[in-house]
Amino acid sequence: MTLSDAPLGLSVPYPTEYDPGLLFPVSRALNRAALPLERGDRLPFHGADIWTAYEISWLNAKGKPRVAMATFTVPADSPNLIESKSFKLYLNSFNQTRLDNAQALRERLERDLSAAAGAPVELDFVLPQRFGQQQMAELDGIDLDKLDVEIDTYQPAPELLRCADGPVREETLCSRLLKSNCPVTGQPDWGSVQIRYRGRPIDHEALLKYIVSFRQHAGFHEHCVETIYADVMRACAPQELTVYARYTRRGGLDINPWRSNVAAPAIGMARTARQ
């Protein structure tokens, strides 16, 4: 199947019955073939796509509605990502579905999403008694958005990236100015991005200009993060690099991909204010 077969961008009726066939996998291979990655049997990074679903509902055995939230972790080495509108349609197919308990829903979600991704998908199921524990926090790091720079490039321009003079350093940089567009509908995708690295100093102004250069780019969230990782790695060759983005939600879902060559990178799970 290709993107032309996906429900994304089409007017489709919302389902009233459970249907795992609504999930639409998209191969990661085509995008990765176009990236400046080292070729070999293994990816040069690891990571995950962390999805947060805020609009999960189903019926209990007596027909009474239940609600929940959930976090789904799709491994970056899975052969497929899951197209977002198909994910929304799939979750909504539970709205009129009777299930004996929340565990039955969890088992279906894990089974169906793992099948679509082609690898095990982890699930943290958040029932109402845990809603009050949910937290918000901004991505930490040096705020690149405070820089007063002139920008005129709004398509990805890796040639903007450059290293500054100076000794090896460890640094965390962040920006709320990441924006790309849905590759099918053209709708804007707004995000915040955090870049942690150890290596030669990355020029801050150049990095901010590069982040903003995605502003008119059409690409999935996951692909954008992998592109940023690959471009920064090629331009500055840091010894350690982690790229993490948190995108604002659409249709009750947000997507938060991270890619890293660090064994245990620091990934904050709290959602940002815009999410």
Question: Closest Cα partner for 177 from 219, 133, 209?
Answer: 209
| Confidence at residue 175, expressed as pLDDT on a 0 to 100 scale | 98
| Confidence at residue 16, expressed as pLDDT on a 0 to 100 scale | 81
Q: What is the pLDDT of residues 172-194, one digit of tens each?
A: 999 999 999 999 789 999 999 99
| Confidence at residue 60, expressed as pLDDT on a 0 to 100 scale | 97
DSSP per position, 187-237: -EEEEEEEEEEEESPBPHHHHHHHHHTTTT-B--HHHHHHHHHHHHHHHH-
Amino acid at 11: S
Q: According to the annotation, is 84 in a ligand binding site? A: yes
Catalytic residues: 182, 189
Distance separating alpha carbons of residues 51 and 270, to the nearest angstrom:
12
**Is the pLDDT score of 7 beyond 60?**
no
Q: According to the annotation, is 46 in a ligand binding site? A: no
| Confidence at residue 122, expressed as pLDDT on a 0 to 100 scale | 97
Which residues lie below 8 Å from residue 116, measured CB to CB, with a gap of 6+? 23, 24, 25, 80, 82
**Is the pLDDT score of 9 beyond 80?**
no
| Confidence at residue 2, expressed as pLDDT on a 0 to 100 scale | 56
Alpha helices in the chain (DSSP H): 29-33, 84-92, 102-117, 204-212, 221-236
Q: According to the annotation, is 221 in a ligand binding site? A: yes
| Confidence at residue 3, expressed as pLDDT on a 0 to 100 scale | 59
Amino acid at 112: D
> What band does 208 get if pLDDT is binned at 50, 70 and 90?
very high
Question: Closest Cα partner for 27 from 53, 11, 50, 5?
Answer: 5
> What band does 22 get if pLDDT is binned at 50, 70 and 90?
very high
Location of structure tokens 């901010």: 208
Q: What is the pLDDT of residues 214-269, one digit of tens each?
A: 999 999 999 999 999 999 999 999 999 999 999 999 999 999 999 999 999 989 99
| Structure token pair of residue 175 | 């920006």
**Is the pLDDT score of 10 beyond 80?**
no
What Å distances lie between residue 101 and 58, 60, 97, 222, CA to CA? 10, 6, 11, 33
| Confidence at residue 4, expressed as pLDDT on a 0 to 100 scale | 56
**Is the pLDDT score of 40 beyond 60?**
yes
**Is the pLDDT score of 36 beyond 90?**
no
Q: According to the annotation, is 85 in a ligand binding site? A: yes
Q: What is the pLDDT of residues 118-168, one digit of tens each?
A: 999 999 999 999 999 999 999 999 999 999 999 999 999 999 999 988 899
Which residues lie below 8 Å from residue 219, measured CB to CB, with a gap of 6+? 31, 180, 181, 183, 227
Burial grade of 2 (CB within 10 A; 0-12, 13-18, 19 or more): exposed
Alpha-carbon dihedral 71, 76, 79, 84, rounded to 10 degrees = 40
Q: According to the annotation, is 250 in a ligand binding site? A: yes
| CA pseudo-torsion sign 71, 76, 79, 85 | positive
| Confidence at residue 11, expressed as pLDDT on a 0 to 100 scale | 58
Q: Which domains does the chain have, with CATH numbers?
A: 3-133 (3.30.1130.10), 142-260 (3.30.1130.10)
